[in-house]
A and B are shown apart, each in its own frame.
Chain A
Amino acid sequence: MLGLGAERLRADMNRLLALLFHQGVLDEQFLQLQQLQDATSPNFVSEVVNIYFNESEKLLRNLRGLLLDREFSDYKKMGIHLNQFMGSSSSIGAKRVRNVCVAFRAASEQNNRPGCLRGLELLEHEYCYLKNKLHELFHLEQQRLLAAGVRYPMQN
Protein backbone atom coordinates (compact mmCIF):
# COMPACT_ATOMS: atom_id res chain seq x y z
CA MET A 1 0.00 0.00 0.00
CA LEU A 2 2.75 2.43 0.97
CA GLY A 3 4.88 1.31 -1.95
CA LEU A 4 2.07 2.27 -4.27
CA GLY A 5 2.07 5.74 -2.78
CA ALA A 6 5.70 6.25 -3.66
CA GLU A 7 5.18 4.98 -7.18
CA ARG A 8 2.17 7.16 -7.72
CA LEU A 9 4.06 10.17 -6.49
CA ARG A 10 6.90 9.39 -8.85
CA ALA A 11 4.39 9.22 -11.69
CA ASP A 12 2.97 12.58 -10.63
CA MET A 13 6.44 14.09 -10.64
CA ASN A 14 7.19 12.76 -14.08
CA ARG A 15 3.89 14.04 -15.36
CA LEU A 16 4.59 17.50 -13.96
CA LEU A 17 8.08 17.53 -15.42
CA ALA A 18 6.77 16.44 -18.80
CA LEU A 19 4.24 19.23 -18.70
CA LEU A 20 6.87 21.83 -17.84
CA PHE A 21 9.05 20.63 -20.68
CA HIS A 22 6.14 20.64 -23.06
CA GLN A 23 5.25 24.19 -22.07
CA GLY A 24 8.85 25.25 -22.59
CA VAL A 25 9.11 26.35 -18.99
CA LEU A 26 12.09 24.06 -18.47
CA ASP A 27 14.68 22.78 -20.91
CA GLU A 28 17.30 20.03 -20.92
CA GLN A 29 19.63 21.98 -18.63
CA PHE A 30 17.25 21.14 -15.80
CA LEU A 31 17.79 17.47 -16.58
CA GLN A 32 21.51 18.11 -16.47
CA LEU A 33 21.10 19.43 -12.93
CA GLN A 34 19.19 16.31 -11.97
CA GLN A 35 22.03 14.21 -13.32
CA LEU A 36 24.38 16.00 -10.98
CA GLN A 37 22.34 14.95 -7.97
CA ASP A 38 23.34 11.69 -6.34
CA ALA A 39 24.01 10.14 -2.97
CA THR A 40 26.97 12.43 -2.34
CA SER A 41 24.90 15.50 -3.15
CA PRO A 42 21.28 14.42 -2.59
CA ASN A 43 19.75 17.90 -2.48
CA PHE A 44 21.76 19.48 -5.24
CA VAL A 45 18.86 20.52 -7.44
CA SER A 46 16.82 22.14 -4.71
CA GLU A 47 19.91 23.87 -3.34
CA VAL A 48 20.77 25.42 -6.66
CA VAL A 49 17.16 26.30 -7.38
CA ASN A 50 16.78 27.98 -3.99
CA ILE A 51 19.88 30.07 -4.65
CA TYR A 52 18.32 30.93 -7.99
CA PHE A 53 15.07 31.98 -6.32
CA ASN A 54 16.90 34.25 -3.88
CA GLU A 55 18.98 35.86 -6.58
CA SER A 56 16.01 36.26 -8.90
CA GLU A 57 13.86 37.97 -6.33
CA LYS A 58 16.66 40.41 -5.62
CA LEU A 59 17.00 41.13 -9.32
CA LEU A 60 13.26 41.61 -9.73
CA ARG A 61 13.22 44.04 -6.82
CA ASN A 62 16.07 45.98 -8.39
CA LEU A 63 14.37 46.07 -11.77
CA ARG A 64 11.14 47.24 -10.24
CA GLY A 65 13.00 49.97 -8.36
CA LEU A 66 14.75 51.15 -11.50
CA LEU A 67 11.50 51.38 -13.42
CA LEU A 68 9.61 53.15 -10.64
CA ASP A 69 11.75 56.22 -11.19
CA ARG A 70 9.77 58.09 -13.83
CA GLU A 71 12.30 60.91 -14.13
CA PHE A 72 15.25 58.82 -15.09
CA SER A 73 15.38 55.11 -15.72
CA ASP A 74 18.82 53.64 -15.64
CA TYR A 75 18.42 51.38 -18.66
CA LYS A 76 22.03 50.39 -18.58
CA LYS A 77 21.72 49.05 -15.06
CA MET A 78 18.55 47.27 -16.07
CA GLY A 79 20.53 45.57 -18.81
CA ILE A 80 23.14 44.42 -16.32
CA HIS A 81 20.49 42.95 -14.02
CA LEU A 82 18.81 41.28 -16.96
CA ASN A 83 22.07 39.73 -18.12
CA GLN A 84 22.51 38.22 -14.68
CA PHE A 85 18.93 36.99 -14.67
CA MET A 86 19.34 35.50 -18.12
CA GLY A 87 22.54 33.76 -17.15
CA SER A 88 21.25 32.14 -14.00
CA SER A 89 17.96 31.19 -15.66
CA SER A 90 19.79 29.46 -18.46
CA SER A 91 22.01 27.67 -15.97
CA ILE A 92 19.06 25.99 -14.29
CA GLY A 93 17.09 25.43 -17.47
CA ALA A 94 14.43 28.08 -16.90
CA LYS A 95 13.81 28.61 -20.59
CA ARG A 96 10.72 30.79 -20.58
CA VAL A 97 12.03 33.12 -17.90
CA ARG A 98 15.22 33.49 -19.88
CA ASN A 99 13.36 34.28 -23.08
CA VAL A 100 11.30 36.96 -21.39
CA CYS A 101 14.55 38.48 -20.10
CA VAL A 102 15.82 38.65 -23.67
CA ALA A 103 12.76 40.59 -24.82
CA PHE A 104 12.92 42.84 -21.76
CA ARG A 105 16.59 43.52 -22.40
CA ALA A 106 15.83 44.49 -26.00
CA ALA A 107 13.34 47.06 -24.74
CA SER A 108 15.84 48.44 -22.25
CA GLU A 109 18.45 48.79 -24.97
CA GLN A 110 16.00 50.99 -26.85
CA ASN A 111 15.20 53.00 -23.74
CA ASN A 112 11.64 51.89 -24.33
CA ARG A 113 9.84 52.54 -21.07
CA PRO A 114 6.44 51.01 -21.89
CA GLY A 115 8.26 48.03 -23.35
CA CYS A 116 10.23 47.64 -20.16
CA LEU A 117 7.15 47.89 -18.00
CA ARG A 118 5.53 45.20 -20.07
CA GLY A 119 8.72 43.16 -19.87
CA LEU A 120 8.79 43.38 -16.11
CA GLU A 121 5.15 42.35 -15.89
CA LEU A 122 5.79 39.32 -18.08
CA LEU A 123 8.94 38.46 -16.22
CA GLU A 124 7.24 38.53 -12.84
CA HIS A 125 4.43 36.40 -14.19
CA GLU A 126 6.76 33.79 -15.68
CA TYR A 127 8.95 33.74 -12.64
CA CYS A 128 5.96 33.21 -10.33
CA TYR A 129 4.71 30.36 -12.45
CA LEU A 130 8.13 28.72 -12.49
CA LYS A 131 8.57 29.09 -8.75
CA ASN A 132 5.17 27.61 -7.99
CA LYS A 133 5.73 24.65 -10.27
CA LEU A 134 9.20 23.91 -8.94
CA HIS A 135 7.93 24.10 -5.38
CA GLU A 136 5.23 21.65 -6.38
CA LEU A 137 7.88 19.38 -7.86
CA PHE A 138 10.07 19.50 -4.76
CA HIS A 139 7.06 18.88 -2.56
CA LEU A 140 6.15 15.78 -4.54
CA GLU A 141 9.74 14.62 -4.27
CA GLN A 142 9.74 15.05 -0.52
CA GLN A 143 6.51 13.12 -0.20
CA ARG A 144 7.81 10.40 -2.46
CA LEU A 145 10.93 10.00 -0.35
CA LEU A 146 8.83 9.77 2.79
CA ALA A 147 6.54 7.21 1.21
CA ALA A 148 9.47 5.21 -0.11
CA GLY A 149 11.25 5.49 3.24
CA VAL A 150 8.37 4.07 5.19
CA ARG A 151 8.32 1.13 2.85
CA TYR A 152 11.78 0.19 3.96
CA PRO A 153 11.90 0.21 7.73
CA MET A 154 15.24 0.70 9.41
CA GLN A 155 17.43 -2.37 9.31
CA ASN A 156 19.33 -3.19 12.49
Chain B
Amino acid sequence: MARNGVFSRRKRSEKIEEFDDVLPSFDSQEVHVLAVDDSLVDRKVIERLLKITSCKVTAVDSGRRALQFLGLDEETSSVGFDGLKVDLIITDYCMPGMTGYELLKKIKGSTTFREIPVVIMSSENVLARIDRCLEEGAEDFIVKPVKLSDVERLKNYMFGEDGMKSEDRRRINKRKSRESLDLSSSSSPLQSQSSDLSSTPSPPSVSSPSSPQSISSSPIHSPTPCSPTLLGSPTRRLKMTNCD
Protein backbone atom coordinates (compact mmCIF):
# COMPACT_ATOMS: atom_id res chain seq x y z
CA MET B 1 0.00 0.00 0.00
CA ALA B 2 1.35 3.39 -0.88
CA ARG B 3 2.73 5.05 2.15
CA ASN B 4 1.50 8.43 1.25
CA GLY B 5 -0.71 7.88 -1.75
CA VAL B 6 -3.45 10.03 -3.09
CA PHE B 7 -6.52 8.14 -4.15
CA SER B 8 -9.52 9.16 -6.08
CA ARG B 9 -12.34 7.69 -8.01
CA ARG B 10 -14.95 9.25 -10.19
CA LYS B 11 -18.57 8.30 -10.36
CA ARG B 12 -19.30 6.42 -13.53
CA SER B 13 -21.82 8.91 -14.73
CA GLU B 14 -19.35 11.74 -14.89
CA LYS B 15 -17.44 12.65 -17.95
CA ILE B 16 -14.67 15.09 -18.36
CA GLU B 17 -14.07 16.99 -21.54
CA GLU B 18 -11.27 19.08 -22.75
CA PHE B 19 -11.76 22.58 -23.93
CA ASP B 20 -9.98 23.10 -27.17
CA ASP B 21 -12.15 25.87 -28.47
CA VAL B 22 -11.61 29.41 -27.40
CA LEU B 23 -13.43 30.37 -24.26
CA PRO B 24 -13.85 33.75 -22.70
CA SER B 25 -10.92 34.26 -20.39
CA PHE B 26 -11.74 34.37 -16.74
CA ASP B 27 -9.76 36.26 -14.20
CA SER B 28 -7.44 33.84 -12.53
CA GLN B 29 -8.79 34.63 -9.14
CA GLU B 30 -7.12 33.23 -6.16
CA VAL B 31 -8.46 29.91 -5.07
CA HIS B 32 -10.08 29.98 -1.65
CA VAL B 33 -9.62 26.90 0.46
CA LEU B 34 -11.41 26.07 3.68
CA ALA B 35 -9.16 23.90 5.84
CA VAL B 36 -10.63 21.97 8.74
CA ASP B 37 -8.44 20.34 11.40
CA ASP B 38 -8.66 20.16 15.17
CA SER B 39 -4.88 20.08 15.52
CA LEU B 40 -3.29 23.50 15.73
CA VAL B 41 0.03 22.16 14.47
CA ASP B 42 -1.64 20.67 11.41
CA ARG B 43 -3.67 23.80 10.79
CA LYS B 44 -0.53 25.87 10.79
CA VAL B 45 1.19 23.50 8.38
CA ILE B 46 -1.70 23.13 5.95
CA GLU B 47 -2.27 26.87 6.01
CA ARG B 48 1.34 27.49 5.04
CA LEU B 49 1.29 24.77 2.39
CA LEU B 50 -1.77 26.35 0.81
CA LYS B 51 -0.51 29.91 1.04
CA ILE B 52 2.77 28.96 -0.57
CA THR B 53 0.78 27.56 -3.50
CA SER B 54 -1.02 30.90 -3.80
CA CYS B 55 -4.30 29.94 -2.22
CA LYS B 56 -6.41 32.02 0.09
CA VAL B 57 -6.95 30.03 3.25
CA THR B 58 -9.54 29.97 5.98
CA ALA B 59 -8.58 27.48 8.68
CA VAL B 60 -11.12 26.32 11.25
CA ASP B 61 -10.83 23.82 14.05
CA SER B 62 -14.03 21.81 13.70
CA GLY B 63 -16.65 20.58 11.28
CA ARG B 64 -19.18 22.66 13.09
CA ARG B 65 -17.20 25.83 12.51
CA ALA B 66 -16.74 24.85 8.87
CA LEU B 67 -20.49 24.59 8.43
CA GLN B 68 -20.96 27.89 10.21
CA PHE B 69 -18.48 29.49 7.87
CA LEU B 70 -20.31 28.13 4.87
CA GLY B 71 -23.61 29.20 6.31
CA LEU B 72 -24.82 25.62 6.56
CA ASP B 73 -25.07 25.40 10.31
CA GLU B 74 -28.65 24.75 11.34
CA GLU B 75 -28.38 26.58 14.60
CA THR B 76 -27.13 29.84 13.19
CA SER B 77 -29.70 30.80 10.63
CA SER B 78 -28.03 31.75 7.42
CA VAL B 79 -30.81 33.00 5.26
CA GLY B 80 -29.30 35.14 2.58
CA PHE B 81 -25.78 34.52 3.80
CA ASP B 82 -23.53 34.97 0.85
CA GLY B 83 -20.32 33.81 2.43
CA LEU B 84 -16.96 33.90 0.84
CA LYS B 85 -16.86 31.62 -2.13
CA VAL B 86 -15.05 28.42 -1.27
CA ASP B 87 -13.33 26.50 -4.03
CA LEU B 88 -12.09 23.55 -2.05
CA ILE B 89 -12.61 22.07 1.37
CA ILE B 90 -9.80 20.05 2.89
CA THR B 91 -10.60 18.34 6.14
CA ASP B 92 -9.05 15.97 8.63
CA TYR B 93 -10.90 12.72 9.09
CA CYS B 94 -10.46 12.15 12.82
CA MET B 95 -11.92 15.07 14.71
CA PRO B 96 -13.86 15.22 17.96
CA GLY B 97 -17.51 16.09 17.55
CA MET B 98 -18.12 15.96 13.84
CA THR B 99 -15.69 13.78 11.93
CA GLY B 100 -14.42 14.75 8.49
CA TYR B 101 -16.60 12.02 7.08
CA GLU B 102 -19.71 13.49 8.66
CA LEU B 103 -18.74 16.91 7.42
CA LEU B 104 -18.31 15.47 3.94
CA LYS B 105 -21.80 13.99 4.06
CA LYS B 106 -23.30 17.27 5.19
CA ILE B 107 -21.63 19.15 2.37
CA LYS B 108 -22.52 16.63 -0.29
CA GLY B 109 -26.06 16.62 1.03
CA SER B 110 -26.42 20.33 0.48
CA THR B 111 -27.65 21.54 -2.88
CA THR B 112 -25.70 24.75 -2.51
CA PHE B 113 -22.39 23.30 -1.52
CA ARG B 114 -22.19 19.78 -2.87
CA GLU B 115 -20.34 21.03 -5.92
CA ILE B 116 -17.38 22.05 -3.81
CA PRO B 117 -14.65 19.43 -4.00
CA VAL B 118 -13.86 17.94 -0.61
CA VAL B 119 -10.52 16.36 0.17
CA ILE B 120 -10.03 14.18 3.23
CA MET B 121 -6.76 13.96 5.17
CA SER B 122 -5.96 11.17 7.54
CA SER B 123 -2.94 9.84 9.36
CA GLU B 124 -4.33 6.34 9.00
CA ASN B 125 -3.92 4.64 5.66
CA VAL B 126 -7.02 2.47 5.96
CA LEU B 127 -8.46 1.31 2.67
CA ALA B 128 -11.97 0.91 4.04
CA ARG B 129 -11.90 4.47 5.28
CA ILE B 130 -10.60 5.75 1.96
CA ASP B 131 -13.28 3.83 0.06
CA ARG B 132 -16.01 5.09 2.32
CA CYS B 133 -14.95 8.69 1.76
CA LEU B 134 -14.67 8.34 -1.97
CA GLU B 135 -18.06 6.64 -2.13
CA GLU B 136 -19.53 9.55 -0.27
CA GLY B 137 -18.16 11.94 -2.87
CA ALA B 138 -14.75 12.99 -1.63
CA GLU B 139 -12.53 14.05 -4.48
CA ASP B 140 -9.32 12.87 -2.97
CA PHE B 141 -7.81 11.32 0.10
CA ILE B 142 -4.42 12.41 1.40
CA VAL B 143 -2.46 10.38 3.90
CA LYS B 144 -0.78 12.61 6.46
CA PRO B 145 1.69 14.14 6.88
CA VAL B 146 0.65 16.46 4.09
CA LYS B 147 3.42 17.54 1.78
CA LEU B 148 3.86 20.31 -0.73
CA SER B 149 3.50 17.82 -3.58
CA ASP B 150 0.06 16.79 -2.26
CA VAL B 151 -1.16 20.37 -2.19
CA GLU B 152 0.31 21.16 -5.59
CA ARG B 153 -1.56 18.22 -7.02
CA LEU B 154 -4.78 19.52 -5.52
CA LYS B 155 -4.18 22.83 -7.17
CA ASN B 156 -3.88 21.18 -10.55
CA TYR B 157 -7.19 19.64 -9.78
CA MET B 158 -8.95 22.86 -8.83
CA PHE B 159 -7.55 24.67 -11.81
CA GLY B 160 -7.76 22.69 -15.00
CA GLU B 161 -5.01 22.81 -17.55
CA ASP B 162 -6.77 25.73 -19.15
CA GLY B 163 -6.15 27.74 -16.02
CA MET B 164 -9.81 27.94 -15.24
CA LYS B 165 -11.20 27.23 -11.83
CA SER B 166 -13.19 24.02 -11.69
CA GLU B 167 -16.26 25.90 -10.48
CA ASP B 168 -16.14 28.22 -13.46
CA ARG B 169 -15.73 25.30 -15.78
CA ARG B 170 -18.78 23.66 -14.29
CA ARG B 171 -20.79 26.79 -15.02
CA ILE B 172 -19.59 26.79 -18.61
CA ASN B 173 -20.35 23.11 -18.95
CA LYS B 174 -23.90 23.58 -17.81
CA ARG B 175 -24.49 26.51 -20.11
CA LYS B 176 -22.95 24.81 -23.11
CA SER B 177 -24.75 21.55 -22.63
CA ARG B 178 -28.07 23.33 -22.50
CA GLU B 179 -27.21 25.08 -25.74
CA SER B 180 -26.19 21.94 -27.55
CA LEU B 181 -28.41 19.69 -29.61
CA ASP B 182 -29.14 16.03 -29.22
CA LEU B 183 -26.08 14.56 -27.69
CA SER B 184 -24.79 11.09 -27.31
CA SER B 185 -21.57 12.05 -25.70
CA SER B 186 -22.42 15.35 -24.21
CA SER B 187 -20.45 17.37 -21.78
CA SER B 188 -21.28 17.22 -18.16
CA PRO B 189 -20.09 19.13 -15.14
CA LEU B 190 -17.28 17.79 -13.08
CA GLN B 191 -19.66 16.99 -10.29
CA SER B 192 -22.67 14.82 -10.89
CA GLN B 193 -25.32 17.18 -12.05
CA SER B 194 -26.43 15.18 -15.02
CA SER B 195 -30.06 15.40 -14.06
CA ASP B 196 -30.63 18.36 -16.28
CA LEU B 197 -28.58 17.09 -19.16
CA SER B 198 -29.61 14.90 -22.00
CA SER B 199 -26.56 12.71 -21.76
CA THR B 200 -26.82 9.09 -20.86
CA PRO B 201 -25.49 8.33 -17.42
CA SER B 202 -22.91 5.73 -18.29
CA PRO B 203 -22.03 5.08 -21.88
CA PRO B 204 -21.48 1.39 -22.39
CA SER B 205 -19.07 1.83 -25.24
CA VAL B 206 -16.55 4.26 -26.44
CA SER B 207 -18.03 7.32 -28.08
CA SER B 208 -16.98 8.56 -31.47
CA PRO B 209 -13.59 10.18 -31.52
CA SER B 210 -14.73 13.46 -32.97
CA SER B 211 -18.09 14.46 -31.64
CA PRO B 212 -20.35 16.25 -34.09
CA GLN B 213 -21.31 18.94 -31.60
CA SER B 214 -19.73 22.31 -31.54
CA ILE B 215 -18.76 22.09 -27.91
CA SER B 216 -15.34 20.70 -28.25
CA SER B 217 -13.45 17.75 -29.45
CA SER B 218 -13.93 15.30 -26.68
CA PRO B 219 -11.30 12.72 -26.10
CA ILE B 220 -12.27 9.10 -26.31
CA HIS B 221 -14.07 8.24 -23.13
CA SER B 222 -13.90 4.98 -21.36
CA PRO B 223 -16.60 4.03 -18.92
CA THR B 224 -14.24 5.13 -16.22
CA PRO B 225 -13.82 8.81 -16.84
CA CYS B 226 -10.53 10.44 -16.31
CA SER B 227 -9.35 13.95 -16.12
CA PRO B 228 -6.27 15.25 -17.85
CA THR B 229 -5.67 17.40 -14.81
CA LEU B 230 -5.28 14.49 -12.47
CA LEU B 231 -2.46 12.69 -14.17
CA GLY B 232 -0.43 12.83 -11.01
CA SER B 233 -2.55 10.35 -9.10
CA PRO B 234 -1.21 6.80 -9.14
CA THR B 235 -4.67 5.28 -8.96
CA ARG B 236 -5.88 7.34 -11.84
CA ARG B 237 -2.92 6.35 -13.96
CA LEU B 238 -4.01 2.75 -13.62
CA LYS B 239 -7.54 3.53 -14.71
CA MET B 240 -6.74 5.77 -17.63
CA THR B 241 -7.02 4.46 -21.13
CA ASN B 242 -6.20 6.93 -23.87
CA CYS B 243 -7.55 10.12 -22.55
CA ASP B 244 -5.47 12.43 -24.63
Contacts and interface: CB of A to CB of B under 8 A. Distances in A.
A48 B146 CA distance: 14
A124 B147 CA distance: 27
A51 B40 CA distance: 7
Interface string B139-161: 00000111110000000000000
B148 A91 contact: no
Nearest to B40: A51
Interface residues of A, number: 23
B56 to A, nearest CB: 15
Contacts of B146: 91
Interface stretch (A61-69, A80-88, A115-123): A80-88
A87 B123 contact: yes
A143 interface: no
Contacts, number: 53
Contact of B145 (A38, A84, A90): A90
Contact of A87 (B42, B48, B49, B147): B42
Interface in A44-69: 44, 47-48, 51-52, 55
A44 B49 CA distance: 11
B94 interface: yes
B44 interface: yes
A156 interface: no
* Chain B contact patch, size range: 10 to 19
Nearest to A84: B39
A9 B144 CA distance: 33
B22 interface: no
18 contacts: A32-B145, A32-B147, A36-B48, A36-B148, A48-B44, A48-B45, A55-B41, A80-B96, A83-B123, A86-B123, A87-B144, A88-B39, A88-B41, A88-B42, A90-B145, A91-B41, A91-B144, A92-B45
A55 B145 CA distance: 17
B45 A91 contact: yes
Interface of A: 29, 32-33, 35-36, 38, 41, 44, 47-48, 51-52, 55, 80, 83-84, 86-88, 90-93
B206 interface: no
B52 A36 contact: yes
Is the contact region of chain A dominated by helix, strand, or loop, or is it mixed? helix
Contacts of B39: 55, 84, 87-88, 91
Contacts of A36: 45, 48-49, 52, 148
Nearest to A33: B45
B41 A35 contact: no
Given A36-B52, A90-B123, A91-B39, A51 B44 contact: yes
B161 to A, nearest CB: 26
B95 to A, nearest CB: 10
Given A32-B147, A87-B123, A88-B39, 11 more contacts: A35-B148, A36-B45, A38-B52, A47-B44, A51-B44, A52-B41, A86-B123, A87-B39, A88-B42, A91-B146, A93-B145
Contacts of B41: 48, 51-52, 55, 87-88, 91-92
A84 B39 CA distance: 7
Contacts of B94: 83, 87
Which 8 residue pairs are nearest across A and B when measured between Cβ atoms? Answer: A88-B41, A29-B145, A91-B145, A36-B48, A90-B145, A87-B123, A52-B41, A48-B44
B42 A91 contact: yes
Contacts of A90: 123, 144-145
A91 B146 CA distance: 7
